[in-house]
Amino acid sequence: MPHLPLWLAPVERLLDAGGPVLGILALVAMLVFGMALERWWYYRVSWRLARRQLIRRWTARSDHRSWSARTLRQVWTQALVARLRRPLPWIKLLVALCPLLGLLGTVTGMISVFDSLALSDTHQARAMADGVARATLPTLAGMAIALVGLLLISRLEHVIRREDQRLNDRLARALEENNA
């Protein structure tokens, strides 16, 4: 591994201590948090603009009471909320993958520990303790990433439910204000 700048030396030591699976977990974590950051940006910028446009389009219609108008409103709102929900399955998949990758790191680490113990004649307890510590580091990282990812997913789902309700409420209120 090429040497990183001095301020990234702790990260380099952590990746060396955890093995290659820890690097994969770091990439998965960057994907999860990058997608969550993108959703936050979408919600703060694009969602509000799209919601206002939908409300304007709905109030500009002359027919609001017929079955086809209510169906069209439902289709429009579902399509808009689906855009807000779009990357959620991918985030869930990546979060579910984290503990499995951590377990993979532990298993491969333990295999290397037992292999090195079988090859050495001394059976040093210190070497075994270091190997076990190295093997459990990916599990710790995988569980930590998954826990934070679950919190992000829970928050995103809450925001999506709330915004779906707000959108429907604002469409109804805009219609009442337009008719008054």
pLDDT at 28 over 90: yes
Q: Which residue has the tokens 């304007």?
A: 56
Contact 152, 31 (CB under 8 A): no
Write down the domain spans for the chain: 20-54+66-179
Mean pLDDT over residues 128-153, rounded?
A: 88
- 3-state SS assignment for residue 103: helix
Whether the predicted model's global pTM rises above the 0.95 cut? no
Residue type, 59: T
What's residue 147's pLDDT?
Answer: 97
Report the mean per-residue pLDDT for the chain: 87
pLDDT at 129: 72
What pLDDT sits at residue 163?
Answer: 93
